[in-house]
Structure 1
Amino acid sequence: MRHIIAWFALLLALTSPALADWRDDVGTLRVGFIAGDNPAYEVARLEKFRSYLHYALAVPVELFPARSYEALIEAQSTGRVQYTVLSSLAFLALDQRCVCAEPLVQPTTADHARGFRALLVTKSDSAITSLADARNTRIAVGAKDSLSGRRAPFAGLASEGIYPESYFLRIVETADSETALRALIAGEVDLATAWSSSSEPLSPAIGSGPLAVLAGDGALSPSTLRVIWQSELIPFGPHVVRKDLPDMAKSRLLQALTDMRNTNPDAYDAIERGYPGGFVAADPVLYRHLAEFLNIAPGKD
């Protein structure tokens, strides 16, 4: 029955001049996403998502696989695609480049969190109880381009007048937050960067972050850790559309995406399996605050 209704809606849209105007302006909606080294597989995996948008908007939808965020930013800034799935940092980079796009929706967790907080943690029996106590200690961090593992914590430290390269005795780069936390547990460092989407940063709730993963594996108990700093909310990466997309297209897309988890969970899982809470309308203020926090200058019209 659902497919019959979808086909009827498509037929109505294509045969009604009044309804077809904005669709004529859109033509084919091109959706860009990160596909890694196997784009054919990823395009096939996202077919349910593509098909859902096709029927919901009654316009042709094409997937644009890209190997990197830089390629997606270039494609959207030049108009090759009208819609991209970006990380928060990639969206800020796009906004710096062209101010030509806007966040439409963002995914949420099972607890309906819109983002996460970056953390600095130590052992609960450590003498470190504040940032002031952390001078000349060893800290495990993420890679240079990691938002949660390095950029956000270092921005937070800078706002306190702390410059990590001279403040800490040793900075240990790790692959991810789980690895950083394991180094802390093993006594190889005194502090570690981490993150959590829970309102309680040391919560072991499934899906809330690396602390929960390690607690679930029996590698640690949250009670053995202490948080000495946490950031404000950092939003999850948005689905972004060009500003010159017709307003009716944006409205229909917003409705289709926020309905997706309930009306077609397979389509939603195809594009956002890691965020089971569904889409909500994006809050641009969260991304502006993130840019200010990271000291990223806004783009110019």
Structure 2
Amino acid sequence: MALAVLAFCAAGGARAQEPGKAGAGLSEPPQTDWRSQVRSLRIGVLSPGGEERELTMAEPFRAHMQETLGLPVKLVPARDMRALIDAIVNGRVDYARMSASAFASGWALCRCLEPLAAPQAADGTRDYRAIAVARTSVAINRLGDLKGKRVIFSEPGSVSGYMVPIAVLRGQGIDTAHYFSAQNHAEGPQTAIAAMLRGDYDAAFAWSSLAGERGEGYSLGPLRRMVAQGRLDMDAIRIIWQSDPIPHPPQVVRANLPEDLKSLIRAALFDLLAAEPEAYDATEPAFSGGFVAVTRDSYTVLLHAFALQ
């Protein structure tokens, strides 16, 4: 799964309220210490397609969270993920939906972020894994068998197709610059796998849910797409390595938010799909299975990879 990230928006057609009316319809909850300190919750929103469109599409989530928390909620646009990371690291926003790699990148900068929840896919999977695959016709069964072999990674910015495998190899004391007889990058995991199948390389790095039917290429990932396209027979490959699980994109807050507020946000997220599907789609357009709990430790494999950058 490449580092490219999904915008914080729903998949079109939402009947949105006017954005920016943060004070409308607020009840007056009893004042507590944290409410006297936190006057509003600022949510960062990716806006690569233009602020007005993205803010409108995020509005159902803003409105629901404002009503649920009893606190003014404001949307703050960010032109790209780099700008969003900068905003939450430097305290210009309090909350954001981030890619898993963006969270790890932000954590490496400030140690000030906390993931509260992450989505499940429609099939119930909560994570994916970086994998290495080789042809069954060659005697390669584990990472150690790749010494002196030809390998192909995904793009240098790919979390599962490059960054995590490289971090694991280096963690084993392997000098990746000299360990292989040849190494290259492909434009995506399917291209890498196809090059391996042709015999151009001995192993390819990609990702998979590793859940579901193996013969179908599992439930999610490039193996499944290639099987469906008739480009891959799973009997022709073996998985020689898999990483620890990498959860889906987290809902992230600054760690210094009051604990009571973080608890309210968690509860709202866990109930969101059932309570307000339109608001759920507005904050999580990619994975439709509802939110589950995560912690910083859930992303250890990525935190380690980014610590080596």
Q: When the two structures are superposed, what TM-score results if normalisation uses the length of structure 2?
A: 0.82
More displaced stretch, 261-270 vs 156-165: 156-165
Give the 3-state SS of the residue equivalent to 2:27 in structure 1.
helix
Does the 8 Å CA contact 2:217/2:227 hold for their aligned counterparts? no
More displaced stretch, 60-69 vs 231-240: 60-69
C-alpha displacement of 1:117: 1.2
Task: Provide structure 1 residue ranges, at least 5 long, that are not aligned to the other structure.
Answer: 1-9
CA distance in 2, matches of 1:231, 1:200: 18
How has the CA–CA distance of structure 1 residues 19 and 188 changed in structure 2, closer, same or farther, with 3 Å as cutoff? same
Task: Provide structure 2 residue ranges, at least 5 long, that are not aligned to the other structure.
Answer: 1-23
Which letter does structure 2 place at the counterpart of 1:280? V
Which letter does structure 1 place at the counterpart of 2:103? F
Equivalent residue runs for 1:114-133 within 5 Å: 114-133=126-145
C-alpha displacement of 1:201: 9.3
**2:17 corresponds to:** none
Which letter does structure 1 place at the counterpart of 2:262? K
Aligned length: 285
C-alpha displacement of 1:177: 1.1
Does the 8 Å CA contact 1:46/1:270 hold for their aligned counterparts? yes
Confirm whether residue 15 of structure 1 aligns to residue 4 of structure 2: no
Does the 8 Å CA contact 2:120/2:289 hold for their aligned counterparts? yes
2:307 aligns with one of 259, 277, 296 = 296
Equivalent residue runs for 1:182-261 within 5 Å: 182-199=194-211, 202=214, 204=216, 207-261=219-273
C-alpha displacement of 1:250: 1.3
Identity percentage of aligned residues: 36
C-alpha displacement of 1:197: 1.9
Q: Let me know the Cα RMSD of the aligned residues.
A: 2.6
Q: When the two structures are superposed, what TM-score results if normalisation uses the length of structure 1?
A: 0.84
Q: Deviations over 1:241-280 (max 9, x none)?
A: 1223233321221111111112222222232232222111
**1:88 corresponds to:** 100
1:149 aligns with one of 157, 161, 173 = 161
Which letter does structure 2 place at the counterpart of 1:215? V
Confirm whether residue 31 of structure 1 aligns to residue 43 of structure 2: yes
More displaced stretch, 156-165 vs 226-235: 156-165
Which letter does structure 1 place at the counterpart of 2:307? I
Q: Deviations over 1:97-154 (max 9, x none)?
A: 2222211111222343332111010122223223333233322211222110101111
Which letter does structure 2 place at the counterpart of 1:228? I
How has the CA–CA distance of structure 1 residues 75 and 119 changed in structure 2, closer, same or farther, with 3 Å as cutoff? same
**1:65 corresponds to:** 77
How has the CA–CA distance of structure 1 residues 206 and 267 changed in structure 2, closer, same or farther, with 3 Å as cutoff? farther
More displaced stretch, 251-260 vs 108-117: 108-117
**1:285 corresponds to:** 297
**2:89 corresponds to:** 77
CA distance in 2, matches of 1:64, 1:115: 28
CA distance in 1, matches of 2:186, 2:272: 36
Give the 3-state SS of the residue equivalent to 1:64 in structure 2.
strand
Does the 8 Å CA contact 2:212/2:219 hold for their aligned counterparts? no
How has the CA–CA distance of structure 1 residues 148 and 77 changed in structure 2, closer, same or farther, with 3 Å as cutoff? same
Confirm whether residue 134 of structure 1 aligns to residue 146 of structure 2: yes
**2:279 corresponds to:** 267
Does the 8 Å CA contact 1:203/1:211 hold for their aligned counterparts? no
**2:12 corresponds to:** none
More displaced stretch, 59-68 vs 119-128: 59-68
Does the 8 Å CA contact 1:207/1:213 hold for their aligned counterparts? no
